[in-house]
Chains A and B, each alone.
Chain A
């Protein structure tokens, strides 16, 4: 997959992974793995970027005697998902056009 395209996709994937309830690094990776290739080193910069842009908020909580950082989505993060869904709709139209050209 195109690197630039994947980068944009991953942001939305991570947001979707924490949409229903807050989550943490390992769980986000495990939830996304069946759908898209993502490693620890890829996830970290995404989380950092999303946090800086205000799309997610974080909190630390204890788990089995160690600290875990939990991420939850903000209204701005939800908006990002909505924007992406709109983009997908446009994409569908464009891909139909491209596929038509293929068939002819």
Chain B
């Protein structure tokens, strides 16, 4: 790791702090870096002595009373009881109805897209078979029936593609939203 990347990572880890404070901390490390360099210590040695940016930031943040905690669905450790209770009620009141609505929409969209396939297939059969069963029909009537069949195929395809894509992206979007809500980091 170079000095540049070390500093960049440190700043990133210090995000919960105000900007001036972050700059002060960076200046502090830069100053000591310069002093050690003057003493003849090499870049890699200095950075090794400093320790990882994560460790340095964690120590400073801990002193400021800021701790990063991740609330995970599985482990849940590190989260206070109040946070978990809050999350539970949030789930019950807000997320659960939304999730049910999303699931219902996904299922109905999927159903419509399957129906679209059925309509297309029906359209093909209608166009192909209509003149066999309509023995008395004229050439014009057969032509009109073929047109109707093709229109049905078109409508079916549009329904299938449109609703297949809608249900797919709705499902992906809901999954992403859920992961974001349950695994996002909380600042104390």
Contact = CB atoms under 8 A, between A and B. Distances in A.
A26 B25 contact: no
Interface string A3-31: 00000000000000000000011110100
A57 to B, nearest CB: 15
Nearest to B21: A48
Given A40-B50, A41-B55, A44-B25, A66 B60 contact: no
Binding site of A, secondary structure by majority: helix, strand, loop or mixed?
A: helix
A64 B31 CA distance: 11
A20 B152 CA distance: 94
B16 interface: no
Interface string A30-56: 000000000111101100110000000
A92 interface: no
A80 interface: no
A25 B153 CA distance: 78
Interface residues of A, number: 18
A39 B60 CA distance: 12
B59 A24 contact: no
Interface string B60-90: 1001100000000000000000000000000
B170 to A, nearest CB: 47
Interface string B22-36: 000101111110111
A39 B36 contact: no
B186 to A, nearest CB: 22
Given A44-B25, A44-B28, A69-B27, A26 B51 contact: no
B38 A41 contact: no
B56 interface: yes
Contact of B60 (A44, A64, A68): A44
Contacts of A69: 27-28, 31
Contacts of B32: 25-26, 29, 40
B56 A41 contact: yes
Interface in B81-102: none
Nearest to A46: B63
Nearest to A29: B32
A37 B34 CA distance: 22
B63 A68 contact: no
Contact of A40 (B27, B34, B56, B64): B56
A47 B32 CA distance: 14
A45 B60 contact: yes
Nearest to B59: A41
A40 B46 CA distance: 11
Contacts of B59: 41-42, 45
A5 to B, nearest CB: 17
B114 to A, nearest CB: 60
Given A44-B25, A45-B64, A66 B56 contact: no
